[in-house]
Amino acid sequence: MSRIIVITSGKGGVGKTTTSAALSMGLAQRGHRTVVIDFDVGLRNLDLIMGCERRVVYDFVNVINHEANLNQALIRDKRCDNLYVLPASQTRDKEALTKEGVGRVLDELSQSYEFIVCDSPAGIEHGATMAMYYADDAVVVTNPEVSSVRDSDRMLGILASKSRRAETNAEPIRELLLLTRYDPPRVETGEMLSVKDVQDILSLDLLGIIPESKAVLTASNAGVPVILDRESDAGQAYSDAVSRYLGEEVPHRFMTAEKKGFFNRLFRG
Amino acid sequence: MGLLDYFRNSRPDGTANVAKERLQILVAHDRAERHRPSYLPKLQREILEVIRKYVDVDMSAVSVNYEQEESHEVLEFNIILPDTVRHVV
């Protein structure tokens, strides 16, 4: 039985694609056959973050339009045999994603993959609603910042009313919060919303906290999902999130600022 | 600077609490909107039309409030009639 996971947020630039790349790689590395799909038709980026942009021949829209079959469009990750990428089209219009077409492709993928990760575009338009429509689980990527939290809440309303599970009165989508770009020192000085503040407002189960990290840009520059950078704080935080998603109990890290010694504080402020 | 910071209260006048308060109000409002039945605006217009047959009131004189309580929903209409009720018909 496969699980369809949508990575969503409403707001743009909060880390949906970074998260899609990291979570799908993490699931695949633990032995689960995983496919990650870019739903951002017209502005594809997942292939870049995954480092397979030069291997794209056919895309998601080609498959929906019967111009290519799935095996022709899927790109196998060179670092992990269990991971495949289905890139978005760069040129077509968004309406190419039909509910029937997306449903058919997801159905076919669910025959041979355990996890189907859907990287949603920003906004609440067609592409975003298609990405979440068939989901079993939703990872709501949120920055500790007012507009992102508000958009996440709106997205929760859409998940609860416009998804297949909502329309068929099935068990609701499991919604998980992933707080990204978290900066503990700024939280401690009261400049940034804390995990608790965001949870008080959204009341979601916390999948993970990804600290603000230089490793994220470094990884995207190189086309390597940040979870592969095991030395980095962000990579470790994503790895913890994958464990939690799979049901392990892992304590949350990266919530507090590293303690500076007295002399450090004195001289470096 | 470092020395001063060290002795200063470690949680000064940050803006995070302002953000949280604004969000709580905004999100509560958004959610109330979301749970309102979609027929409310039309219902409000039609009721207003009926009232206008008898009394001269305008849109702003009518407020519709929808509240969900544990076991039931309350639909409340508040219509401010003009001081001197003038019969239209």
Task: Indicate if the pLDDT at residue B6 is higher than 80.
Answer: no
For chain B, give the mean pLDDT: 78
- 3-state secondary structure (DSSP) of residue A35: strand
pLDDT in tens, chain A (269 residues): 799 999 999 899 999 999 999 999 999 999 999 999 999 998 999 999 999 999 999 999 999 999 999 999 999 999 999 999 999 988 767 678 999 999 999 999 999 999 999 999 999 999 999 999 999 999 999 999 999 999 999 999 999 999 999 999 999 999 999 999 999 999 999 999 999 999 999 999 999 999 999 999 999 999 999 999 999 999 999 999 999 999 999 999 998 887 666 666 666 54
Q: What is the count of residue pairs from A and B with beta carbons less than 8 Å apart? A: 63
Is the separation of the CB atoms in A109 and A2 below 8 Å? Answer: yes
The confidence score (pLDDT) of residue A1 equals 78
Contact A262 B6 (CB under 8 A): yes
Residue B35 — pLDDT band, cuts 50, 70, 90? confident
The confidence score (pLDDT) of residue A261 equals 62
The confidence score (pLDDT) of residue A244 equals 98
In chain A, which residues have their Cβ closer than 8 Å to the Cβ of B20?
193, 197, 200-201
Name residue A100's amino acid: E
pTM for the whole thing?
0.84
The confidence score (pLDDT) of residue B72 equals 84
The confidence score (pLDDT) of residue A143 equals 97
Is the separation of the CB atoms in A63 and A37 below 8 Å? Answer: no
Quote the longest CA-to-CA distance of chain B.
Answer: 81
Buried b (16+ CB within 10 A) or exposed e, B20-51: beebeeebeeeeeeeebeeeeeeeeeeebeeb
Partner residue facing B16 (CB), from A191, A201, A268: A191
Residue B8 — pLDDT band, cuts 50, 70, 90? low
Q: What is the distance between the alpha carbons of residues A222 and A95, in angstroms, rounded to a whole number?
A: 32
The confidence score (pLDDT) of residue B39 equals 83
Query: What stretch of H or E contains A40?
Result: none
The confidence score (pLDDT) of residue B87 equals 57
Report the side by side order of strands in the sheet with A205-211.
A75-76, A83-86, A34-38, A115-119, A3-8, A137-142, A174-182, A205-211
- Of all residues in chain A, the one with the smallest CA distance to B35 is A157
- Of all residues in chain A, the one with the smallest CA distance to B30 is A154
In this prediction, residues B28-39 reach a mean pLDDT of 82
The confidence score (pLDDT) of residue A269 equals 46
- For this complex, say whether ipTM is above 0.95: no
Q: What is the distance between the alpha carbons of residues A254 and A142, in angstroms, rounded to a whole number?
A: 16
Which pLDDT tens digit goes with each residue over B45-77?
A: 888 888 888 888 877 777 777 777 778 888 888
> Is domain B20-80 in CATH 3.90.1150.10, yes or no?
no
- Of all residues in chain A, the one with the smallest CA distance to B8 is A189
Q: How far is the alpha carbon of B45 from chain A, nearest alpha carbon, in Å?
A: 26
In this prediction, residues B23-44 reach a mean pLDDT of 85
Query: What stretch of H or E contains A100?
Result: helix A99-110
